Amino acid sequence: MFPRMIKLRFFFAGIVVLLLSGCSKPVPPRSEFVLATICAIDLYGNGTPQVYHDVFTRLREIESRMSVFVEGSDVDRINKAAGVEAVEVHPDVFNVIERAVYYAELSGGAFDPAVEPLVSLWGIGGENPRVPASEEIERVLPLINWRDIELDRGNKTVFLKRPGMALDLGGIAKGYAADEAAALIKKARIHQAMINIGGNVLTVGEKKDGRPWKIGIQDPMNTHGAYIGFVQTGEKTLVTSGVYERFFVADGARYHHLFSPSLGYPADNGLLSVSIIADVSMDADALSTAVFVLGYEKGRALVESLEGVDAVFVFDDRNIYPTGGIDFTLVDENYRVTGN
């Protein structure tokens, strides 16, 4: 009996060990600083350290190719060769620039990837922002023209025709990065995730309880983390452009980073923010800037001309105008939903 009892104990102990070894703790969400912002990925306990590693490695890869601030990046090389020669770039970079040019044309230049000379002139978001003299602005305006971006798809080259021109993909690269993160997550057969790249939010799959995702819209007159309401949606992306993201105050006036490429000054049309809801985050990223700069009437007309795209417009009088295709719930009584 005694030897048999020992064998049984070892047998049951072996079962317990096998069961425990097969049960690993859920991997928590992960946040890292990349693409000049905080990127948060939540795989809702279904991810592994390797999946998180792969996603953030991909995001850093995109940053290394597309950031204007990274020495030797493809965008840096394009800018340094402006007016001199075409530059061969990685397919990632070519595809994003090509899409940026598409939205520049679609918006009549309200979104323009060649806006970098204006961004540098104002320095908003840097250590020494300033209001440039009108003469300085007039001097750089001829350089900001998406029509002077020459693309060769066969050779994957980009040429800026005028010396002094420069690209800034900050208005579209984060959206592309979110799409690429989602592609990796789906490839890993993870069916539920939320990606947040500095406010560019993209949901993957459906929530486990079958209810829609709730994506908050930032209160543009308050601190980060304060929301005026939320959009309920399925697998979609929501990208917001607003006056609260990067700005400075000079002589009592507030200057934000969403420039009118044709005027050279921050767009001033009564809008505080525009949130775009779409299927592709890269598209929503570019559209959020374009629609904000266009203003409500032209911007809404553009949104409503595109299939599967909606918007929430927030004005400085605290009126909110959502388009008709979304489920928006107001939670801040200081604002009013005026119509859709």
pLDDT digits (tens, 9 = 90+) for 91-102: 999 999 999 999
Give the mean pLDDT of 95-117.
98
Query: In 3D, which of 120, 115, 80 has the Cα closest to residue 101?
Result: 115
> Is the pLDDT confidence value at 125 over 50?
yes
Q: What's 30-62+171-335's CATH class?
A: alpha beta
> Is the pLDDT confidence value at 219 over 60?
yes
Candidate CATH numbers 2.60.40.420, 1.10.3980.10, 3.40.50.300, 3.40.50.970; the one for domain 68-160: 1.10.3980.10
Which residues touch 301 (CB under 8 Å, ≥6 apart)?
none
- Predicted pLDDT at 206: 86
> Is the pLDDT confidence value at 26 over 50?
yes
- Could you tell me the sign of the dihedral formed by the alpha carbons of 126, 127, 130, 135, in that order? negative
**Residue 6's pLDDT band (boundaries 50, 70, 90)?**
very low
**Residue 24's pLDDT band (boundaries 50, 70, 90)?**
low
Give the mean pLDDT of 77-84.
98
> Is the pLDDT confidence value at 60 over 60?
yes
> Is the pLDDT confidence value at 18 over 90?
no
Q: How many CB atoms lie within 10 A of CB 40?
A: 15
Judge whether 137 and 264 are in contact, CB under 8 Å. Answer: yes
Give the mean pLDDT of 302-312.
97
Segments making up each domain of the chain, as ranges: 30-62+171-335, 68-160
Copy the structure tokens of residue 241: 């452009």
- Predicted pLDDT at 22: 43
**pTM assigned to the model:** 0.90
Average pLDDT, the chain: 91
- Predicted pLDDT at 320: 97
Judging by DSSP bridges, how do beta strands 192-197 and 200-205 pair with one another?
antiparallel
Copy the structure tokens of residue 322: 């959502």
Give the mean pLDDT of 217-241.
91
> Is the pLDDT confidence value at 171 over 60?
yes
- Predicted pLDDT at 223: 67
Q: Which residue has the higher pLDDT, 22 or 255?
A: 255
The DSSP H or E segment spanning 255 is: strand 253-256
**Residue 44's pLDDT band (boundaries 50, 70, 90)?**
very high
- Predicted pLDDT at 301: 98
Rounded distance, CA 155 to CA 135, Å? 38
pLDDT digits (tens, 9 = 90+) for 191-214: 999 999 998 999 999 888 888 999
The DSSP H or E segment spanning 6 is: helix 2-21
B/e letters for 152-164, b = 16+ CB within 10 Å, e = fewer, are eeeebbbbbeeee
- Predicted pLDDT at 14: 37
pLDDT digits (tens, 9 = 90+) for 142-169: 999 999 999 999 999 999 999 999 999 9
β partners of residue 247? 256
